[in-house]
Structure 1
Amino acid sequence: MFSQANDILMIAALFDAAAAIAHLACIAIGGSAFRFLGAGERLAREFEAGKIQPILVTILIAFILFSWSVFALSGAGMLGVFPFTKWILIAISMVLITRALAFPLLKSYFPENSMKFWLISSGICFVMGMAHLYGVMTQWDQL
């Protein structure tokens, strides 16, 4: 029987995996996808020019997001509990929540991103972070 915390962590895992897939889609779709997802004009142009750095950065981000998905599934009891799962889920939560709240400080590094991008992406990061945090806190004794 799944608890609400399990369900929340499974939803968090789906969000993580969806974000990873969205990042990989940039490689398949091209510069317009990099722009749409807010990677910035510079990265989109570098990708279009055939440079390897945007591809490597995108694959790294996707790998991190997929690993977060695996840990969320572990916390939900779907894959068995991995070592340090609760601490890793806490760290994931803090990274996502910090990213969500720190957008005013990050804006100057990505001036081509619109306020709409910052509000939407920060809102998504905040919801994802809170889902991970709620899930791990309510599963604390099982992890």
Structure 2
Amino acid sequence: MDVSRQVNRYLVLSGLLNTIAAILHLGCIYFGASWYRLFGAGEEMALMAEQGSNYPTIITFAIFSVLFIWALYCFSAAGLIKKLPFTKFVLVLITSIYFIRGFIGFIFIFMPIGRSSEFWFWSSFICITFGVCHALALKTMDKH
């Protein structure tokens, strides 16, 4: 990392948020049904976890992997780790996905499809918050 260049704090924050979300998903795998319930994954996922099904683990590990890769892209853009390919494009894509997921999720508050209205509200709020942080990172990326 070039020490004369200031680190983009929004990129670092975005990377940390993605890392925390990824770790929480690993927690669901490790702690099982009680964590699936706590984080609103739905009773079906919790029951499958209780019954020893691999499905919740596979789905949750896939989400963990995506979030972890997103964290790596943020840290790469911040200059904290090796430069990854297509960094700016990937960050724009990540930001877009967070906003799309956030706004679409608000629709499901009124028709929760297997999850509670609270899950859709809070997960959408979190996604939009993450999207704003990533957007600020993109906006300030070229200034650092």
If the length of structure 1 is used for normalisation, what is the TM-score? 0.88
Structure 2 unaligned residues grouped into runs of 5+: none
In the alignment, the residues of structure 1 paired with residue 115 and residue 127 of structure 2 have an alpha-carbon distance, to the nearest angstrom, of 20
In the alignment, the residues of structure 2 paired with residue 104 and residue 120 of structure 1 have an alpha-carbon distance, to the nearest angstrom, of 9
1:52 pairs with one of 47, 51, 54: 54
**Structure 2 residue matching 1:102: 3-state secondary structure:** helix
**Structure 1 residue matching 2:79: 3-state secondary structure:** coil
Aligned to 2:22: 20
Partner letter of residue 2 of structure 1?
A: Q
Following superposition, the deviation at residue 2 of structure 1 comes to 2.2
Task: Identify if the C-alpha distance between structure 1 residues 81 and 140 changes in structure 2 by more than 3 Å, giving closer, same or farther.
Answer: farther
Cα pair 2:96 2:131 within 8 Å, conserved: yes
Aligned to 2:130: 128
Aligned to 1:71: 73
Aligned to 2:6: 2
In the alignment, the residues of structure 2 paired with residue 109 and residue 119 of structure 1 have an alpha-carbon distance, to the nearest angstrom, of 10
If the length of structure 2 is used for normalisation, what is the TM-score? 0.88
Cα pair 1:40 1:110 within 8 Å, conserved: no
In the alignment, the residues of structure 2 paired with residue 13 and residue 65 of structure 1 have an alpha-carbon distance, to the nearest angstrom, of 9
Task: Identify if the C-alpha distance between structure 1 residues 82 and 141 changes in structure 2 by more than 3 Å, giving closer, same or farther.
Answer: farther
Where does 1:45-124 land on structure 2 (aligned, <5 Å)?
A: 45-107=47-109, 108=111, 110-113=113-116, 115-124=117-126
Corresponding residue pairs, total: 139
Identity of aligned residues (%): 32
* Greater share of helix: 1
Cα pair 2:112 2:120 within 8 Å, conserved: no
Cα pair 1:86 1:140 within 8 Å, conserved: no
Root-mean-square deviation (Å): 1.8
Partner letter of residue 83 of structure 1?
A: P
Partner letter of residue 56 of structure 1?
A: I
Following superposition, the deviation at residue 106 of structure 1 comes to 3.9
More moved, 80-89 vs 61-70: 80-89
Structure 1 unaligned residues grouped into runs of 5+: none
In the alignment, the residues of structure 2 paired with residue 141 and residue 85 of structure 1 have an alpha-carbon distance, to the nearest angstrom, of 16
**Structure 1 residue matching 2:84: 3-state secondary structure:** coil
